[in-house]
Amino acid sequence: MAASNATGLVDLVSKRIGQYVNHDDVLVRFVSLWVVVASVFTASWVLSYLVLPQGLLRGGNPGAATGYAGSITREFLWLFGWNVGVSLIAVGANTLRSVNTPMGYVIEVVQAPWYGAVWGTGSLAIGTGERIVPSLAVLVERSGPMEITALVAVVVATRGVTLWHQESGPRWKEDFVRVRSPSDWSLTRSELTLLAGGYLLLAVACYREAVAIAQVV
């Protein structure tokens, strides 16, 4: 009975979260998905800080593995270009939708705990190698949370670029069916505004990170 009640509660919470992250209002979608991503990022950050070996994931980010680019401008352009590429992969994933869930959402939710673990284990490509102590002050000082927020904005704004749809579960078994073409795509004014704001925030975050890296090296 207890197991049944727990399963029912999980299903209820999952359904409620799904309603918010897929809401018609783009701002509701953005805030809801941001809360989900921020929660899994924070949980991973704290747990990895407490449990995982220091430096475990060092060198695991190919976008940062090349080292310092030599100047703030070149470093910024490299970081921004890399992150734009990552965002476009997530947007491309949004062409696939499983029931109500765009696949770009899944990418963000999966990526967040990995990034949290990089912080918790002190595995940043450039730096002292020290673990980043979980605290609110760190969230303000570092550019990572801004990058995550920007990517969430981009993914949420492009939720409607669906091409293939998996109408029902089980998700690992059912086929995706072509339901639209790119000519059917359209973004509302609110979605366009959020999309532009996301890329602007991403640019600011990458510049902050380039400056911080220059100061370290």
Burial of 77 (0-12, 13-18, 19+ CB in 10 A): middle
- pLDDT, residue 131, reads 87
Rounded Cα distance between 44 and 51, Å, is: 10
Domains: count for the chain:
1
Q: SS3 for 93?
A: helix
* pTM, two decimal places: 0.89
Residues 177-202: tens digit of each pLDDT: 999 999 999 999 999 999 999 999 99
Residue (of 58, 62, 207, 188) closest to 122 by Cα position? 58
- pLDDT, residue 154, reads 98
Neighbours of 211 (CB within 10 A): 14
What does DSSP say about strands 164-166 and 96-98: parallel, antiparallel, or unpaired? parallel
Q: Which residue's entry shows tokens 């109408």?
A: 167
Give the residue numbers spanning the domain of 65: 2-216
- Reading the block at residue 114, the tokens are 């990995």
